[in-house]
Amino acid sequence: MGLASLGTISQFGELMKKHIFSLGHFRHLRWAAFAVVAYGFLFVGCKKKDSAGNPEEIVIGEFAALTGATASFGQSAHRGVRMAIDEANVGGGVLGKKLRLVTEDDQSKAGEAATVVRRMISREKPVAIIGEVASSRSLEAAPICQQNKIPMISPASTNPKVTETGDYIFRVCFIDPFQGAVLAKFMLQRGLTKAAILTDVKQDYAVGLADFFKDYFTKNGGTIVSEQSYSSGDKDFKAQLTSIRGTNPEAILVAGYYNEAGLIASQARELEIKVPLLGGDGWDSPSLVEVAGEAMEGNFFSNHFSAEDKSPAVQDFLAKYKAKYIETPDAMAALAYDATMLLLDAIKRAGTTESSALRDAIASTKGFAAVTGTITLDANRNATKSAVILQIQDGKFRFVETVAP
Amino acid sequence: MALAAGLAASVALYAIAPQLDDYAVNILVLAGINIILAVSLNLVNGHTGQFSLGHAGFMAAGAYTSSIITLSLAPTLASAPPWQAQTAFFGALLAGGLLAALCGFLVGVPSLRLRGDYLAIVTLGFGEIIRVVIQNTDALGGARGLEGIPPYTNLIWTFGIATVAIYVVASLVNSTYGRGFIAVRDDEIAAEAMGINTTKYKVAAFVIGAFFAGLAGGLYAHFISYIAPEGFNFLKSVDVVVMVILGGMGSTPGVAAAAVLLTLLNELLRDFEQYRMLVFALLLIVLMILRPQGLLGNFQRRKRKAPQP
């Protein structure tokens, strides 16, 4: 037995030598090296950090598109949130604790929002999360917040599906169906019954807005004479506009963002289309007038608030924002500020940051006086509030009227 | 052997998953998905030498097909036992992979006529076509995307499929049959003269590459739970091409390592905030200057040149 086993061992040794040193098996070593390196990296990258959780502070999470395609919205929203948090800290914090804001950039990229929100929840343990402006990225983050039972308040995602994700997801803006209806109602009130629609099919927001506008408009006696589409990034809209001109609409809904809306307005004037253009809150940017200049005059768009509003809440916010950032806030900044203030108000009312109590406090928000109107959250966790219609006059956004829900 | 070891490793990862936080699992899954994408693209770009820029399109085909299947089955699966849901998920993934493979076949056919830059443009166009078709199809959610996809993807699926992808590509290329891929890359005319059916090899590379990209897309969709056409644009294809070039064209361990490295780099640089992409780009430039052949590209070459005993 002894000899036999010795033989086997030496045979095994020979075999091992052959395996390890022969060229053919060298690649296994390489694979092993890869595996070791990869797992090493993964270990470094994934090691659990002990977030001790300072009991003297309350962590508020925020994810926004600070870089990338929609960075202008993300930066504005971030300023709004920052301002609300700084203000609260100057006033001694909330529940006697200082607030700490944790901000993550999702680069306006698909997939990133899910990653950064998971990172925030795992590492920083925020009591609630503010984000995102874009509905597509809110939809990525919402299931994660819901699963971890962390209240999420979106400042400006208007897609109805966002809050349908679950009972921990809220928003402080109105939703696309409402905005579509507001624009349709506004047209019908002015006796305009023939509309053309030009939609940015690349943007979920634009497609939603156009659909809901069409729905309300046709059900209430209006007719859609032409439906055309374009994609974000297009520069030439003459083909669509020429086709629209042939159908003689009384107004044209341009469902999309400000970049293309400006170009569309100038090209429409070149083609001698004299009817007004209408848009949604995606038009709200100083660049709208910079691109189109004169051609933008007389056009309308719906928005969350107007800087011309004389109410103290709005004027107070404007003054503070200008003092801090030396520029006029847009709707995203106002909405993000409101979302944060509403959250802080809910924490005060709940008297705790425990997730289910905080959720209930947010859900029971009633008549909260915010910059963008009085906010009451309904059973579907959406804000019921009014919209404003603005008109472009002399390069400024002039307040026309408030449309109640 | 290697296959079994890899599968065992995925099971082990799955077993330790409860001890990791969500973020760690998130990075691991993304790394796994990137490994599948990079290794499968490497078969086309690296081993066969056909420069393809349409990988995101195949990924989208797989993501949408599998999501549509699981979403339509969702009401019945919600009450079904977990093993049934997982089986259905696997079926949906396979269906996604097969549809992507079909797309790969469709791109592979025109690729018979084209080489180099021309082929790159065809694949780029094809990837965009898939995305634009989805964007304009209401049944697929259009620009608004599909939401509420059941989150079935876990570490065992991801790394199991990644292992299979690595195994299939590595052993395919090292097999007698697989030498054909390398022959097509090194010199297409000479390969043809030697009696190799270059057409068949090119199409095979596209079909297999697209199949795994489709699986990766399915895994991605069932991990993030929400997909929109914008997530599968040209830049996504470029991300994968970067992994392949960084890892070393034609080196399977190299591109797999690059996939993991780039995924992690993206996360480790988060503390740099706005400067992240700057640092990321700089690192890539430095790496490419120091090692133009890619991370492990040279290994492969040295091995081939080594005198056989």
pLDDT value for A27:
54
Residues A342-353 pLDDT 10s = 999 999 999 999
Q: What's residue B38's pLDDT?
A: 96
Q: Where in chain A is the domain with CATH 3.40.50.2300?
A: 57-174+310-385, 177-303
Task: Provide the mean pLDDT of chain B.
Answer: 87
Q: Is the pLDDT of residue B249 over 80?
A: yes
pLDDT at B31: 94
For residue A34, pLDDT beyond 60: yes
Which three-class secondary structure state does DSSP give residue A92? coil
Residue pairs between chains A and B whose CB atoms are closer than 8 Å? 135
B225 DSSP assignment:
S
pLDDT digits (tens, 9 = 90+) for A234-265: 899 999 999 999 999 999 999 998 889 999 99
Quote the distance between the C-alpha of residue A46 and its chain's center.
28
> Is the CB of B270 less than 8 angstroms away from the CB of A107?
no
Higher model confidence: residue B143 or residue A157?
Answer: A157
Lowest mean pLDDT among A322-331, B14-23, B292-301: B292-301
> What are the phi and psi torsion angles at A324 (to 5°)?
-85, -40
Interface touch A45/B264, C-beta < 8 Å: yes
Q: What is the CA angle A126-A129-A130, rounded to 5? A: 145
All residues at 6 or more sequence positions from A266 whose CB lies less than 8 Å from its CB, including other chains: A291, A292, A293, A295
A329 Cβ neighbours under 8 A, 6+ residues apart = A76, A79, A80, A307, A317, A318, A321, A322, A337
Of the pLDDT bands very low, low, confident and very high (cuts 50, 70, 90), residue A53 is low
CATH node for A177-303: 3.40.50.2300
Q: What is the pLDDT of residues A266-292, one digit of tens each?
A: 999 999 999 999 999 889 887 888 888
What is the distance between the terminal CA atoms of chain A, rounded to a whole angstrom?
93
Of B77-86, B207-216, B259-268, the range with the lowest mean pLDDT is: B77-86
In this predicted structure, the answer to whether residue A36 has a pLDDT above a threshold of 90 is no
Two structure tokens written together for A399: 């307040």
More confident residue, A220 or B275: A220
Residues ≥6 apart with Cβ < 8 Å to A193? A187, A221, A222, A223, A250
A96-105 average pLDDT score: 92
**Predicted pLDDT of residue A40:** 61
For A163-184, what is the mean pLDDT? 91
Q: How confident is the model at residue A50 (pLDDT cuts 50, 70, 90)?
A: very low
Handedness of CA B71, B73, B75, B77 (dihedral sign): negative
Tell me the two tokens of residue A118: 């998971």
Kindly tell me the burial class for residue B1, based on how many C-beta atoms sit within 10 Å of its own C-beta (0-12, 13-18, 19 or more): exposed
Whether CATH 3.40.50.261 fits A57-174+310-385:
no
The residue ranking higher by pLDDT, A206 or B15, is A206
Mean pLDDT rounded to a whole number for chain A: 86
Q: Is the predicted pLDDT of residue A45 greater than 70, yes or no?
A: no
Contact at CB, A48 and B21, closer than 8 angstroms: yes
Do B226 and A201 lie within an 8 Å CB cutoff? Answer: no
Interface mutation vs chain A, best among B35, B136, B152, B230, most A CBs within 10 Å = B230
Q: Do B30 and A148 touch (CB under 8 A)?
A: no
Which of A62-66, A341-345, B15-19, B218-222 shows the lowest per-residue confidence on average (mean pLDDT)? B15-19
Average pLDDT of the residues in B288-300:
73
Please say if the pLDDT value at position B106 is more than 70: yes
**How close, in Å, is residue B113 to chain A by CA atoms?**
32
pLDDT at B162: 93
Residue B111 has pLDDT above 60, yes or no: yes
Average pLDDT over residues B174-179: 88
Chain A positions in Cβ-Cβ contact with residue B136 (cut-off 8 Å): 201
Cα–Cα nearest to A284, from A137, A153, A390: A390
Q: In A, which residues are within 8 Å of B229 by CB distance?
A: 202
Q: Which residue of A has its CA nearest to B300?
A: A27
Question: In which band, very low, low, confident or very high, does the pLDDT at A25 lie, cut at 50, 70 and 90?
Answer: very low
Which residues of chain B neighbour A136 with C-beta distances below 8 Å? 144-145, 226, 228, 230
**Between residues B11 and B50, which one has the greater pLDDT?**
B50
Q: Are the beta carbons of A186 and A403 closer than 8 angstroms?
A: yes
Name the band, by pLDDT with cuts 50, 70 and 90, for residue A147.
Answer: very high
Model confidence at A9, in pLDDT bands (50, 70, 90)? very low
Mean pLDDT, residues A78-103: 93
- Segment B84-107 shows an average pLDDT of 94
Tell me: the pLDDT tens digits for A126-138? 999 998 998 889 9
